[in-house]
Structure formats: structure tokens, C-alpha cells
Structure 1
Amino acid sequence: MADRRLQVFHAVAKHGSFTRAAEHLHMTQPAVTFQIKQLEEHFDTRLLDRGHGKISLTPAGELVLAYAERILGLSAELDSRVSELTDELAGQIKIGTSTTIAAYWLPHILEGFKRRYPRVLPRVVVGNSKLTEDAVAARDLDIGLIEIVTEQHAIERRSAARDELFVICSPDNPLAAFKSLRAKDLVGHPFIDRDPGNGIRQIADEFFEAAGIAGSEITLCAEIGSLATIKHLAAAGLGFAIASKRAIQRDLEDGRLVAIALEPRIYTPLEVILPRDKFRSRLITAFADFACEEFARMADRDSAA
């Protein structure tokens, strides 16, 4: 119900770019420019300064942004409260998720939730855990599913479950002969690491640090954000990697990879995070509850297997 001009202005101000705002709103850039022009004509003042490739808010723009955030928040709350009166969850929910969760956990969570609430429209953004955490803290996302334990004050976290981490490598790799591996056993072997900000990378760093092994002692083979690429390189014999149990089950069954337990055992947390003190609709609460339940159910099933 909120004024479309305010929605567009809010997006431009938040993203600092007409182009990124257009992408976020699924609009053309000329359409975004037109909406901003109309809003400025309405207030008879300039709201944005455009110069040197950057966009900044004028004093009037700062004031309009403050009110726009309040108006848009109230509009979303109104829509949600009215839809809740029908006793059927509906509407859009913006979900952020890490790449591993997106590939191996989220499909089952979304399938179950959509079957229960078919009128809900999930919009999913995939990135590493740190990017997702920051987007939830900035309230650009309604909810996040990540693999790190956040300490940001702006975030409320729910620990849903955990997944054990293993060393993975090709069956021909010398490490494949071990029944378990300590950190010092991995020194000198090429390591295929995750990208900075990835939750599993953070846990792996802590595993080596706890054993007194400096980063300079690790033979780094590559830093890659794609788990599929990491598994491909490991299966091809280029090095070892560290991955969660659920992400490697099919590869183990096919014989492409072997998994060796770490000593001491380490786990990746599966966390559901929400903006703290933000108005929370029944839809967001229902999805958070459902995601926690599904994480726990799938983790228990994997452990039993």
C-alpha cells in the first residue's frame, strides 16, 4: 500500500545506486529515475545529489528517508496483520542463506514450507555466511540461515542443529589411508580452502589455530566459494578440503571422494538469524520455527544414518 515513489527512493538511498536499486526492485533504470523525479517534484526540492559517480542524500533527502522507513515498515506490518486475519499465511519473505545450506538443506525446507503454505512467496539470496549475517543486521533480509555463530547485537539467533565436518579427498590421496586426522597430519598437504567470510573456513581456521598451526604452515592450493568446484578439485586429486557431512553424501556413495573424521571432531552450526527488535510477522516467525525444526530433523536423520 505504500507510495511506490517512496519505495523506489528508499531502495536508491539504501543501495546508493540507481542501477542496483532497479535490479533490487525488478524495474528498469529509467523507471527508477522517473519515480525519483516525481518525488522531487512533489516536494519541490532535490533529494539526491548526483556527482562523480556517487549518490548522496541532501538534508531534505535525509528527512524523507527517515519517514520513508517508518511508512514502509508500517505498510508491511499492516499487510501482514490483515493477511493474518484470514488464518492463512501469505506474502513475501526475504531469506538469505549460505551456499552450502542453499544447496543441501534449503530445498527440503522450502518444499515442506510451500506445501504447508502455498500462498507464501520466498525470495532467496545466496551468499556466504558473513554476507548473509550483515544483510540481516541491516534489515535487508527478513531471515538468514547461516553456518557461523553471530555476535552482532542487531541480530537474534536460534541454534537449530549442527553438522559434522570431515576432510575430503580423492581415494588415491595419501590422506585417504587415515582413519582420523589431526591438524598436524594435514600440514604439507595441498589445502583447498573456502572464500573469506565462509562459515566453514572460519571453523577450519580455528581448528588449525587450536592445534598451534599458523596459517603460513598450511599449503594453500586454492580459495573457492563454490563447494561444487571444491569437491571437483578434491576428487581430481589436487588436494584436500573440509566439508560438512550432508554436503558430501552423494559423492561418498559414488566413490568420487572419501571422508576422514577430524580429531578432535568439529562441527558447523546451523543457525537461524533474524533482525532484533524488528516488527516480526506471523509469517517470519512461522518460517523461523519451521526451519529450526527441519534443520534438527534432517541432522538427526543424518546422524542416525
Structure 2
Amino acid sequence: MALNVHQLHIFYTVAERGTFSAAAQALHMTQPAVTMQVQALEERFGTKLLNRSTKKLMLTEAGHCLLPQARKAVELMRDTDTLMAKFVEDLKGRLKFGASLTIGEYVLPPMLGAFLRRYPDVSVSMKVMNTTDIIDAIGSQGLDFGLIEAPCDEPGFHTEPVMNDELVLVASAEHPFAAREEVELAEVIAQPLVLREQGSGTRQVMEDELLRHGVHGDSLRVVSDFGSTGAIKSAVEAGLGLSVLSEWAIKREIELGYLKKVRIRGVEFRRQFFAVRLKSALASMPAAALLQEIRGVSRE
């Protein structure tokens, strides 16, 4: 009997998730179906792969031996789908993923428009939420992947950089800085600031870079902080203060002349956006194709 790669994927998912029920949820299968496929794999090899005598499944010696091979098989299938996604012309299906605020509100909508025009038989459901909720939803709601603003170190998840981003200092068109191409960091620190809330990816990137230059976040003149990038842009336009925002989020306002980008001498706020998924999950072809489009934009 030929080795069944699908069964290797199921075995790997059970080993990663720790229970048949958790694996069944991740694979969108019934628990008896998962159990049956693992048993079939054990019958093929003629040995037990999992010890079922405890609440949490434990790998046998044979299971430990098979696990890295199963992982390689899953990674090969995933890499093959990614490689071939750019050649697919007739995609169909439903794509469900999560995205953090900046990515979901400002980066993806134009890309999704082009993607859906190219693949009209694909439907998309995008949930905009914070990183913690995205990680939870990938495991509990079956999202294909998430797009987040910092790497994820949760066990069982794989993170890869897919797009570059740069945060920039922005001022209203009437602010004195708007007439200048570059300002000193000391000048910025003396100005009132309107920022994202503590704990946001944008705020963290800004504060980490400033700390590198000897400026602690507590020394900033933060007059307001908001959980909404849109609210911050409105506040800056109204003259409430300066802000540091993603270039993706301010493109329209810059083009219309409402906001002005200003360089801070010697300071760069660079970061990457990341795709996160379960290590045991295989991306659907629509998911693989969209991620290819996102990587392509980053390389342009």
C-alpha cells in the first residue's frame, strides 16, 4: 500500500495539537475520521504511533521517529502549493483570514480589489482585529492565516515576513514642520504628540527606535492616544499634535495635501508585516495565491 501523504498530515496535526479533538477542529474533520486515518497509518507501518493511555496523547518511539518525516511532507506540500499558486488561473473557494488594524484597513483593500477581479470565483472574509484575537481565531474559527505587525512566538504557529513597512512622522499642512524636509529628534520630543494606544504594534516600533536613540517613551509629550488610526489622522489634521504612522495609512492624505511627511534626522522607523498560520495547516490555493500577491507587492 502506497504511503498516504494525507494521513501523514493528519498524524502531524494530532502530534502538534495534542488531542484527536483539537486536530479534528484544525482539520475540519470529525474526530472519528481523524482517529481512523491515524489507525490506518499505524496498520500500514505495523506499529503504534501514539500512546492513548493518558489524557494527552504521547508519541511512541516509532511516532517520534515518524514526526520529522511527517513535518517534511507537510512543508513540501505547502511549499508546492505556494510555488504553483502564481500559475493558477481558475481559482474557486472561500478565503478566511484575519488582519491587524493597519493592514486590514489600509494595506489590503486595494490588493484585495485587484485579487478578486483576477479571481472572481473566490469569496473573501477578512476579520480586522488585534494580534491576540487573530491567533485565537486561527485555532478556534478556522482562519486560513493572519496578517500581523510583529512575529508570533506562540507554540504551534509559523510566522514569516511578507511585507515591509515604514512609519513616518506626520504633521498637519499648517504646522511649522510642514515647510521643512527634515527636523531634529530633539525638536520632535518638544512637540505635542497624538499616538496609537500603548501595546499597539505601531506604538511599540516607534518607542523601540526612540529608545535606541536614548529617548524613553515616558519623556514624550503625548497629549492623546487613540485605538484608531483614522482618529489620529483627524487629530493631526486639526492641529492637535504630530504623530508617527504607517506610510500605508497616510497615502491618501499626503496626496490630498492634508498631511505632510517629515524626516527625523538619523531616525528610521522600519518594520515588517508577518503572515502567521498553524504549523500543521495546509493553505488553500486561494490563500497561497493571495500571499503570493502580497509578497509580490513587497518586492516591487
Aligned counterpart for 1:286 among listed residues 263, 274, 289 = 289
Q: Does 1:266 align with 2:269?
A: yes
Deviation of the 1:276 alpha carbon:
1.5
| Corresponding residue of 1:223 | 225
Residue 235 of structure 2 aligns to a residue whose secondary structure is helix
Distance 1:160 1:65 in 2: 32
| Corresponding residue of 2:28 | 72
Distance 1:71 1:275 in 2: 11
Residue 28 of structure 2 aligns to a residue whose secondary structure is helix
Question: For the structure 1 residues 189 and 134, does the alpha-carbon distance in structure 2 shift closer, same or farther, using more than 3 Å as the test?
Answer: farther
Deviation of the 1:87 alpha carbon:
8.5
Q: Which residue identity lines up with residue 276 of structure 2 in the other structure?
A: I
Aligned counterpart for 2:105 among listed residues 103, 106, 124 = 103
Distance 1:290 1:250 in 2: 22
Alignment of 1:167-186 (within 5 A): 167-186=169-188
Deviations 1:207-226 (A, max 9, x none): 22112222221111222122
Distance 1:241 1:225 in 2: 13
User: Contact 1:130–1:199 (CA<8 Å) still a contact in 2?
Assistant: no
Distance 1:90 1:66 in 2: 27
Distance 1:114 1:152 in 2: 31
Residue 201 of structure 1 aligns to a residue whose secondary structure is helix
Percent of counterpart pairs with the same letter? 27
Distance 1:99 1:231 in 2: 14
Aligned counterpart for 1:206 among listed residues 205, 208, 215 = 208
Q: Which ranges of structure 1 fall in alignment gaps of 5 or more residues?
A: 1-62, 78-83, 298-305
Deviations 1:164-221 (A, max 9, x none): 2211111332433543245433223221111344221111111221122222211112
Distance 2:102 2:211 in 1: 24
| Corresponding residue of 1:277 | 280
Number of residue-to-residue matches in the alignment? 228
Instruction: State the superposition RMSD in angstroms.
Output: 3.2
| Corresponding residue of 1:296 | 299
Deviations 1:206-247 (A, max 9, x none): 122112222221111222122111111001110111112232
Distance 1:144 1:182 in 2: 37
Deviation of the 1:148 alpha carbon:
2.1
Deviations 1:142-181 (A, max 9, x none): 1122222333343323322313221111133243354324
Question: For the structure 1 residues 138 and 148, does the alpha-carbon distance in structure 2 shift closer, same or farther, using more than 3 Å as the test?
Answer: farther
Give the TM-score of the pair, scaled to structure 2. 0.65
Q: Which ranges of structure 2 fall in alignment gaps of 5 or more residues?
A: 1-18, 35-84
Is 105-114 or 175-184 further displaced after alignment?
Answer: 175-184
User: Contact 1:199–1:268 (CA<8 Å) still a contact in 2?
Assistant: no
Distance 1:67 1:247 in 2: 38
Question: For the structure 1 residues 190 and 208, does the alpha-carbon distance in structure 2 shift closer, same or farther, using more than 3 Å as the test?
Answer: same
Alignment of 1:89-100 (within 5 A): 89-100=91-102
Distance 1:174 1:130 in 2: 39
> Higher relative contact order at CA 8 Å, sep ≥6: structure 1 or structure 2?
2
Give the TM-score of the pair, scaled to structure 1. 0.64
Residue 174 of structure 2 aligns to a residue whose secondary structure is coil
| Corresponding residue of 1:144 | 146
